[in-house]
Amino acid sequence: MSVNETISSAAEQHENSVPVQDVVTEKKREDMPVQEGKTVGLPYADDPKFKLRNVEVFYGEDRAIKDISLDIARNEVISFIGPSGCGKSTFLRCLNRMNDSIDICRVKGQLMLDDEDIYHSRRDVVELRARVGMVFQKPNPFPKSIYDNVAYGPRIHGLANRKSDLDDIVENSLRKAGLWDEVKDRLDATATGMSGGQQQRLCIARAIAVSPEVILMDEPCSALDPIATAKVEELISEMSESYTIVIVTHSMQQAARVSHRTAYFHLGHLVEVNETSKVFTAPQHELTESYITGRFG
């Protein structure tokens, strides 16, 4: 079954998943209601990689994520879009517990990865983050050689017994990240001397090197020029054959180019999730419509 089929067939089984509303184009943003816990479109999937139910995230007393339920399908690329401060990064960081490092942050609800509780008290967070890797907005290579950046994860996770095994992992990861030909003759050069686009692909190679199942990307192209952006987008499309990818982006064109589904967030709510082409051509919720037509954001 394709990614789209698994999402569509699951939606039919969830009676609260498709409360279609008429698009009202003339109303103002303030008049546009969001029904808590109700997401229009196709938020569910059969046999999901992530099953997320009634997720709430608090920073102290402030509720940044308000009762969000969503499935993320296996080998799906899903984009999170929405105005600044709507909770995209906060929700993304729940998926590999990156919020743990923020003292005042509390996560509630059910968050399952392959039917295992991500927030279980005995969960090994280091192992979780090897399975669910992350690429950040600003490329953040270590001040080490290109080789050592990619070899870092496999070394700490003990994935290679011999130098030749490690060499193979480094080469394969750089190949998958589309960087091998550019760097194969200077693996010992320091990574911080690379261009921004190369550094970001190196960070992708570093994430791939520990054989993750999921890659989270928080605005991975916002610091890149259009050519480097195109390379990373091409890579995302290729990687979707092997990984589940969740990408936060402020570029609707990017969401349209790379993702199967797009999720629209607004003030901590998940307003609408649907096949990407539907979100951009026939949004069901008036808030989504006003955002994608550029009336606010």
Ligand X SMILES: Nc1ncnc2c1ncn2[C@@H]1O[C@H](COP(=O)(O)OP(=O)(O)OP(=O)(O)O)[C@@H](O)[C@H]1O
Per CB under 6 A, residues contacting ligand X are 59, 64, 82, 84-90, 102
Q: Which does 257 bind (CB under 5 to 8 A by kind): Mg ion, ligand X, none?
A: none
Applying CB under 5 A, what is the total number of residues that bind Mg ion? 1
* Two tokens, residue 208: 């791939």
Cβ count within 10 A of residue 102: 12
Residue 64 binding: pick among Mg ion, ligand X, none (C-beta 5-8 Å cut-off by kind): ligand X
Q: Which residue is nearest to Mg ion (CB)?
A: 89
Q: Binding to Mg ion by residue 199, rule CB under 5 A? A: no
Single out the residue of 178, 153, 150, 194 nearest to residue 236, CA to CA: 178
Q: 85 touches which of Mg ion, ligand X, none (CB within 5 to 8 A by kind)?
A: ligand X
Largest distance between two CA atoms of the chain: 65
Contact 217, 239 (CB under 8 A): no
Q: How far is the CB of 96 from ligand X (least distance, A)?
A: 15
CA 150 vs CA 176, 236, 244: distances in Å: 12, 18, 20
Name the residue nearer to ligand X (CB basis): 58 or 142.
58
Say whether residue 79 binds Mg ion (CB under 5 A): no
Closer of 85 and 196 to ligand X (Cβ): 85
Q: Does 274 bind Mg ion (CB under 5 A)?
A: no
**How far apart, in whole angstroms, are the C-alpha atoms of residue 66 and residue 56?**
5
Spatial distance between the Cα atoms of 98 and 91, rounded to a whole number of angstroms: 10
Q: Which of 89, 96, 276, 284 binds Mg ion (CB under 5 A)?
A: 89
Kindly list the residues in this chain that would bind Mg ion in the complex (CB under 5 A): 89
